[in-house]
């Protein structure tokens, strides 16, 4: 599959089997992430591969966030929310948690560190697609909660940026996705002068 085809046919795949994903495929996906562009070659990404019982690390983190967000942490509703959160990582045989660890240096712009890790995640999703695997990048408020940092041993300046749920797709995704034509989102600038007027 060439790169144009991979970009246009990749889809988020939320339903995967519990079939093992070969370690060599996981390693290919991780390596693809490390080839993302990053200013000053800071390599600010950190990967956590969760398999088998290791997925419980994320489950407990999600449950802890659910408890912290509950109006009454001891209520039956909070207990149900925690149990639901605890089971979410079991939806795929592999979950790759991806975090940013911004480098502290006067010439490093923190926002660019985030951009590099987002680019790494895209590389990883494309590599998974090229391997015939299903993947979905899951985020949301619990991802960025301080409790998540605690569970993954991240520093105060670090941030979890998402979880790639990975596995063999239950079925091939539909290819009927739509995108706005780039023409309506693009300004061609051929001469000097102010824009936006």
Share of the chain above pLDDT 90, in %: 92
* Angle, CA of 20, 25 and 29, to the nearest 5°: 125
- In this prediction, residue 167 has a pLDDT band, given cuts at 50, 70 and 90, of very high
Whether pLDDT at 88 is above 70:
yes
pLDDT computed for residue 89 by the predictor: 98
Neighbours of 28 (CB within 10 A): 15
Q: Which residues, at least 6 apart from 63, have a Cβ–Cβ distance to it below 8 Å? A: 82, 83, 85, 86
CB atoms within 10 A of CB 190: 4
What was the pLDDT predicted at 36? 98
Which pLDDT belongs to residue 197? 57
Token pair recorded at residue 122? 């895209």
Beta strands in the chain, from DSSP E residues, in sequence order: 45-51, 94-100, 134-138, 159-167
User: Tokens 């290919």 belong to which residue?
Assistant: 28
Residue 1 has pLDDT above 90, yes or no: no
Q: How many helices (H) and strands (E) does the chain have?
A: 7, 4
Q: Is the pLDDT of residue 175 over 90?
A: no
- How far apart CA 36 and CA 124 sit, in angstroms, is 9
Determine whether domain 3-185 maps to CATH 3.50.50.60: no
Instruction: Give the model confidence (pLDDT) of 46-85 as tens digits.
Output: 999 999 999 999 999 999 999 999 999 999 999 999 999 9
**pLDDT score for 193:** 87
What Cα–Cα distance (Å) separates residue 75 from each residue in 71, 84, 147, 163? Answer: 9, 14, 20, 28
């Amino acid at each position: 599959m060439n790169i144009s085809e991979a970009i246009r046919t990749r889809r988020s795949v939320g339903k995967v089997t519990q079939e093992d994903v070969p370690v060599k495929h996981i390693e290919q996906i991780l390596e693809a992430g490390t080839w993302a562009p990053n200013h000053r070659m800071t390599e600010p990404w950190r990967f956590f591969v969760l398999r088998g019982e290791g997925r419980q690390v994320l489950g407990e983190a999600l449950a802890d966030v659910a408890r912290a967000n509950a109006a009454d942490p001891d209520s039956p509703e909070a207990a149900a929310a925690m149990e639901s959160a605890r089971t979410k990582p079991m939806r795929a045989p592999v979950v790759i948690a991806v975090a940013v660890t911004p480098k502290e240096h006067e010439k490093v712009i923190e926002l660019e560190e985030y951009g590099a890790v987002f680019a790494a995640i895209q590389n990883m999703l494309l590599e998974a697609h090229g391997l015939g695997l299903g993947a979905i990048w899951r985020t949301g408020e619990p991802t960025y909660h301080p409790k998540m940092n605690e569970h993954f041993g991240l520093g105060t300046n670090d941030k979890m940026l998402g979880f790639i749920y990975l596995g063999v797709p239950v079925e091939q995704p539909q290819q009927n996705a739509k995108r706005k034509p780039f023409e309506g989102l693009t300004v061609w600038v051929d001469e000097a002068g102010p824009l936006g007027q």
